Structure 1
């Protein structure tokens, strides 16, 4: 691994892991030796990073020179913490991990006083159960949206009938109590909303529909706004 990549991974690990984080934990997270961790921490300090701690105790990244300083007022910090906390409790493990990573990166760029506001925000989210519980990993569908590639799904409709579908995924939406995929259904040749917890399996395909996603999504949203029957739930 190139030293630059290794240093970026070390900085990211120090942003995300609870401080103080031991060298052994950093070595496990980044996949390098303890000796490399000690050497890289010395190198980061020499480059201007403020890293508190020492061997045998643990380390805390006080200021990260790799990111520009951020300025948020206290209410903006509350909004940021609340929004990311809600994402973390929606029931999508990948998004929960990403939300924690974003919060750690932002904290690393804040002045000390603002960082304290973030760490001790008064706004919190508590849920006794995950808000959404999709039956499959949504990562493949999310990647299909990003890459504008069709995905093959096995789906159970509102009557419990199982069908195999190829869809052009356009967006993932979070409704009041369920997650859904907005898509063009190649079987029905129409826009459909697929409820995530009715999707039994999902598989990527090589079929591309680029660059049509933005236009298709715009048309679908227009149909939803107009309340047209063709925009029904599958």
Structure 2
């Protein structure tokens, strides 16, 4: 894990867990050794973080009073809370954890009354469990490839249970309650394809960048979606940047 990500996770953990938090608990939550944890605590303190406590007693994060508090309306707080609570219906575990950490970071900087509103029992999302299939591949790697514009080698099992191998140029993710989908340009078919992430058998980076081609691919895809009489909601969003629906990969 990158040093910046590690320090951010430590800050998130200090905000999220009831204080004081022991060094052992912090090390377990952040996935580092105790020795590394002590170094990270020292790094954060040197950078200006107000962290009280010491080894053997536990640590407590004190938000810097010099920073202006964030302020949201009660309706905005409710929208944030419900959005994060609803994410398990459409997201993968890494995305869900990231959203919860982000919310904890926001709540930690709210004035006391608004922080209490964010944890109020009235702000909960309840829904029956779904039979949504979860992906079995590393979604973090796939998301990174979308951002970094790196090609991916897939082993894919289609809806008719046929297995194929192909290199793709991943353009973006589509999240829904039924499936997690990956929009990509398939070099094997020389066309756009939508891959069901739960049907990806394996995925690995090829080491090839498609950065010079991303903009033209998205432009072509948006053009196709515009020609449809009734584009789907995802395709409408693509008019601004990317995304979509398309033919299931085959």
TM-score calculated relative to the size of structure 2? 0.73
Shift of residue 96, structure 1, vs aligned partner: 1.6
1:37-78 per-residue CA deviation (whole Å, 9 max, x = no partner) reads 9x85xx69xx68486x89877555453569753111111111
| Aligned-residue RMSD, C-alpha | 3.6
Which residue pairs with 1:105 in the alignment?
105
1:135 aligned residue: 136
Cα distance in 2 for residues equivalent to 1:176 and 1:27:
34
* Cα offset, 1:144, TM superposition: 1.0
TM-score in terms of structure 1 length: 0.78
Query: Within 1, Cα distance between the matches of 2:36 and 2:159?
Result: 55
* CA distance in structure 1 between the partners assigned to 2:220 and 2:66 by the alignment: 41
Name structure 2 gaps, 5 residues minimum. Answer: 230-244
Task: Summarize the alignment of residues 187-198 of structure 1 with structure 2, pairs less than 5 Å apart.
Answer: 187-198=188-199
Find the aligned partners of 1:76 and 1:212 in 2 and give their Cα distance.
39
**Native 8 Å contact 2:23 2:34 kept in 1:** no
Specify whether residues 76 and 147 from structure 1 end up closer, same or farther in structure 2 by C-alpha distance, changes over 3 A only.
Answer: same
Q: How many residues align?
A: 225
Mapped to 2, the partners of 1:104 and 1:192 lie a distance apart of: 37
Q: How far apart, CA to CA, are the structure 2 residues paired with 1:207 and 1:11?
A: 35
SS class of match (1:134): coil
Give the SS at the match of 1:79: helix
Partner of 2:22: 22
> Any unmatched runs of 5+ in structure 1?
none
Q: Shift in Å at residue 22 of structure 1?
A: 3.0
Alpha carbons 2:89, 2:177 under 8 Å: kept: no
Task: Tell me which residue corresponds to 1:32.
Answer: 34
Retained in 2: the 8 A contact 1:168–1:183? Answer: yes
